[in-house]
Structure 1
Amino acid sequence: MRAVVAELDPLRLTLEPALAGAVEEWTAWLTHERRASPHSIAAYRRDVAGFLRFLTEHRGHAPGLEDLRRLERGDFRGWLARSSARGLVPASNARAISALKSLFRFLAKRGLVENAALGTLRPPRLPRSVPKALSAAEAQDVVDEAGIYASSPWIALRDRALFMLLYGAGLRIAEALSLDRRDLSTGGATAMTELVVTGKGSKQRRVPLLPEIRAALMEYATACPFGTAKEDPLFVGARGDRLSARVAQRELARLRALLGLPDSATPHALRHSFATHLLAGGGDLRTIQELLGHSSLSTTQRYTEVDSTALMKLYNEAHPRARRGANRRA
């Protein structure tokens, strides 16, 4: 059987035609049925490409569906061992296992490949990550100084509106950048009290907007010199295309340097700060879960760890009894 070259960015792989076609069908399924984000799909394709390259070197020929059927647990463990030796962190290996399991489940449903060995492979144990939030003063500084490096006044308004939306409404950067002008077409600055946001898995949620955020969004939208049609993107770059996350990250990196903030001060940290400050102000977890668009309350509960840590630090620094105890130990 003649092998074909499959485009699995960033690798060009030689695969048997049946496997190459199945991988493309899997990608289309992720896109149209699972509605996975382009970022997730690109990451999954890279992970699968890395595994298929390993398999090519391991078997000495272009792999096909039969090769996938014959894989044993030791083959998968060998691939993970090589990935770790090349510097892949546990989180990357865990995602790669998830990508492979997704592909193999798809192949099994299509009656193409049955392989139980992958199901016995456990992903590496990951350290429980606690979100890093900015202080309220730091987050406000980011909003106040946003756009200071902008080349045009409208870009300055754009950056300020974007960062206000992340911190003031808790949007993911991808959610904010996917907004279109139609999302503001609800009667103007005074009538627009909420946004309908499309989050992960195409789930929609309603997010309330503070008057200051509404005003900033409308001011930017009015000043922006590009597309005014409802289907046009809300946040655009200097050439009028939809703004990329990389540009937003770069602008925040410049603000980090200006304000002396840590490397953890990213667009996503503004979302973390939104949740942490709401919790500190008395917000309940269920409400915060809805605002953030978390499908599981356990994800939102991580913020209780952040808040407890901050409260203990404040107690140790400020409470008279804590200071007396420290003096006795000294």
Structure 2
Amino acid sequence: MFNEFDFQIDNFMMYCDSKSLSRKTKKSYEQTLRLFSIYLRKEHTITDPREVKPVHIRSYIKYLKLRGKYTVVINTGSTHLNNPEGRSDHSKQISDTTVGNYIRNIKVFFNFLKSEHEIGTSPASTIANIKPDRKKKKLLSLTQIKQLLNSFDTTKFHGYRNWVTVRTLLDTGMRIGECLGLRPDDLDFRARAILITNPKNRKERYAFISDKLSKDLRRWLQYRDRYSDSEYLFPTTRGNKQDVTTFEKVLKKAGEEVNIEVTPHQLRNNFAKYYLLNGGDYVTLSRILGHSSVEVTQKAYLDFTEDEIAKKYQKHSPLNNFNL
């Protein structure tokens, strides 16, 4: 039954549309708020956001930690298609990262309602954020990177496309959404640069490419133009823009074939770490990655293992570099 909470969620989602937020971000907001609305209605008979108090949000956080993954769905009519009970992680504990994202999304929602004068104060303003421990992303070895690249069948359009895409991610550190949105006109081979026009923070920037990737992209364009007239640099076989989630699945499957766990974001992380291990600095890296500040970059990429630190030390040791 449609209620005031549902109406305000719709209102908030229209606001998100006007801000040109990414599809992934909007999906996260809506899923969080719909599930929160179901909980409030069932457990506290609350159907109006003006009735929500801090205690309700805290009780929801406790509930999240107890209920387990995929035990609650927004649309029960689709469970026969999605089969949440058949998932290997069904009922497992929800991670602190996920709970933290839920809290953040709920805070954004109530801050929006406050700015719209729908509520006087946000009931989420006193709710503490959860700061989960960052998991160290594994640094792929040269051997593993070669194995991953060799897993793609470059005799086929999609295999060759994925091979070049992975090399682009490794060489530029761009986000997968940015990469899949590239167009041929974004390439500047003379300057060895790629203009990223769809960044996360909506501020255009340049990603730079090596001589090797420049040659890869030139060859790819020649091949691509024989079989596709798509506006995208890395299109689907039908010429459409690739979906981020679909590429994530393709990359995961390619990694599994050679016993490597890998994600697009891990390739971005590996670019950053290898850039630093090879002598790059945080200030330049921050600009390349499109971060808002050097501090953001340092927080994201200070999680080197002892072995990685040892290798960096050997490369930059004073005695190793002095002629003594």
Runs of 4+ residues over 6 Å off in structure 1: 313-316
- What does the per-residue CA deviation read over 1:131-172, in whole Å, with 9 as the maximum and x for residues that have no partner? 3221233224433x1522x6x532232112100110011111
Structure 1 position 93 matched with structure 2 position 103: no
1:233 to partner: Cα distance: 2.0
Structure 1 position 126 matched with structure 2 position 132: yes
Equivalent-residue separation in structure 2 for 1:273 and 1:111 (angstroms): 45
Pairing 1:94-173 to 2, within 5 Å after superposition: 94-143=100-149, 145=150, 147-148=152-153, 153-173=156-176
Equivalent-residue separation in structure 2 for 1:215 and 1:314 (angstroms): 29
1:308–1:21 CA distance, 2 compared to 1 (3 A): same
Q: Which residues of structure 1 form unaligned runs of 5+?
A: 6-13, 317-330
Q: Which residues of structure 2 form unaligned runs of 5+?
A: 69-93, 315-324
Bigger CA radius of gyration: 1
1:246 to partner: Cα distance: 3.1
**Match for residue 69 of structure 1?**
50
Question: TM-score, normalising length from structure 1?
Answer: 0.78
1:71–1:254 CA distance, 2 compared to 1 (3 A): closer
- What does the per-residue CA deviation read over 1:192-215, in whole Å, with 9 as the maximum and x for residues that have no partner? 510111321212211111122122
- What does the per-residue CA deviation read over 1:94-129, in whole Å, with 9 as the maximum and x for residues that have no partner? 111111111111111111112343111112231133
SS in structure 2 at match of 1:203: coil
- AA in 2 matched with 1:222: Q
Equivalent-residue separation in structure 1 for 2:256 and 2:99 (angstroms): 32
- AA in 2 matched with 1:147: F
- AA in 2 matched with 1:23: I
Structure 1 position 44 matched with structure 2 position 43: no
More divergent stretch after superposition (286-295 vs 252-261): 252-261
- AA in 2 matched with 1:191: R
Question: TM-score, normalising length from structure 2?
Answer: 0.80
- AA in 2 matched with 1:253: K
- AA in 1 matched with 2:194: L
**Match for residue 288 of structure 1?**
285
SS in structure 1 at match of 2:242: coil
Pairing 1:121-270 to 2, within 5 Å after superposition: 121-143=127-149, 145=150, 147-148=152-153, 153-184=156-187, 186=188, 190-191=189-190, 193-197=192-196, 198-224=198-224, 225-228=227-230, 232-261=231-260, 263=261, 265-270=262-267
SS in structure 2 at match of 1:111: coil
1:29 to partner: Cα distance: 1.9
CA contact (8 A) 2:169 2:175 kept: yes
CA contact (8 A) 2:186 2:194 kept: yes
Pairing 1:8-23 to 2, within 5 Å after superposition: 14-16=2-4, 19-23=5-9
Higher relative contact order (CA 8 A, sep 6+): 1
CA contact (8 A) 2:169 2:264 kept: yes
Equivalent-residue separation in structure 2 for 1:311 and 1:195 (angstroms): 31
1:254–1:20 CA distance, 2 compared to 1 (3 A): closer
- AA in 1 matched with 2:283: R
Equivalent-residue separation in structure 1 for 2:204 and 2:164 (angstroms): 21
Equivalent-residue separation in structure 2 for 1:313 and 1:209 (angstroms): 25
1:287 to partner: Cα distance: 0.7
CA contact (8 A) 1:167 1:271 kept: yes
SS in structure 1 at match of 2:205: strand
- What does the per-residue CA deviation read over 1:210-237, in whole Å, with 9 as the maximum and x for residues that have no partner? 1221222232233222224xxx222112
